[in-house]
Each structure stands twice: as structure tokens, then as C-alpha cells.
């Protein structure tokens, strides 16, 4: 056989398709909506997994290094390679010189 080995994602997809085949009450439109929801959930899962790998498995919200100097204003967009955020440099009030 020329098929590649099964991945956890392909197994989850097979499970979804099997459940959709067994369901008699869902219309084709509802099945397509469930497929789209599954695809979005998978993308979010992969994005979080990549993000955790890049951070060295730090919990969300713990920022070290140069990124700690900035505060997030808002999220501009999300993609398969990460998240784009609008940030503002934090003001460190400990080092403000007074005249």
C-alpha cells in the first residue's frame, strides 16, 4: 500500500466522518457545518501546540525576555504561523528621572 501512516489528526477526522455517516438526522448542510467547525478546532489546536513548543512549554500569560517590555493592545489577526498583536511599550516608572 502507498498510504502514509495514520496520524492522530487523520484518526480524529475518520472518527468525525464515521459519526456523520451514522447520523440519520443531520442534513448535508449541517454535516458540512460540523466539518467546518472540526477544521477550525483542529487549526486552533495546532496553533496552540506550536505556540507552546516555541515558548518551551510555558503556561499562557507568562512572558519572559524582550516580549515582557510590551503590553498587548489588541489581536490584529491569527494565522497558521501565529498571532499578530498590536502592542505598546510598557513604561517602567521605577526609572523615571525627575527634574
Residue whose C-alpha cell reads 495514520 in the numeric block? 6
How much is the pLDDT for 29? 92
How much is the pLDDT for 61? 56
- Locate the DSSP E strands across the chain: 70-79, 82-89
User: CA nearest 38: which of 22, 17, 64?
Assistant: 17
Residue 96 pLDDT exceeds 80: no
- Residue 89's pLDDT band, with cuts at 50, 70 and 90, is confident
Instruction: List pLDDT tens digits, range 34-87.
Output: 999 999 988 888 888 877 766 655 555 555 667 778 888 898 988 878 888 898
Amino acid at each position: 500500500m502507498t498510504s502514509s501512516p495514520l496520524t492522530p489528526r487523520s484518526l480524529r477526522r475518520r472518527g468525525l466522518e464515521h459519526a456523520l455517516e451514522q447520523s440519520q438526522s443531520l442534513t448535508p448542510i449541517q454535516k458540512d457545518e460540523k466539518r467546518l467547525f472540526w477544521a477550525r478546532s483542529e487549526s486552533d489546536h495546532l496553533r496552540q501546540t506550536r505556540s507552546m513548543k516555541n515558548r518551551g512549554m510555558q503556561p499562557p500569560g507568562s512572558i519572559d525576555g524582550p516580549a515582557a517590555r510590551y503590553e498587548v493592545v489588541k489581536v490584529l489577526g491569527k494565522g497558521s504561523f501565529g498571532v499578530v498583536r498590536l502592542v505598546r511599550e510598557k513604561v517602567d516608572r521605577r526609572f523615571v528621572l525627575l527634574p
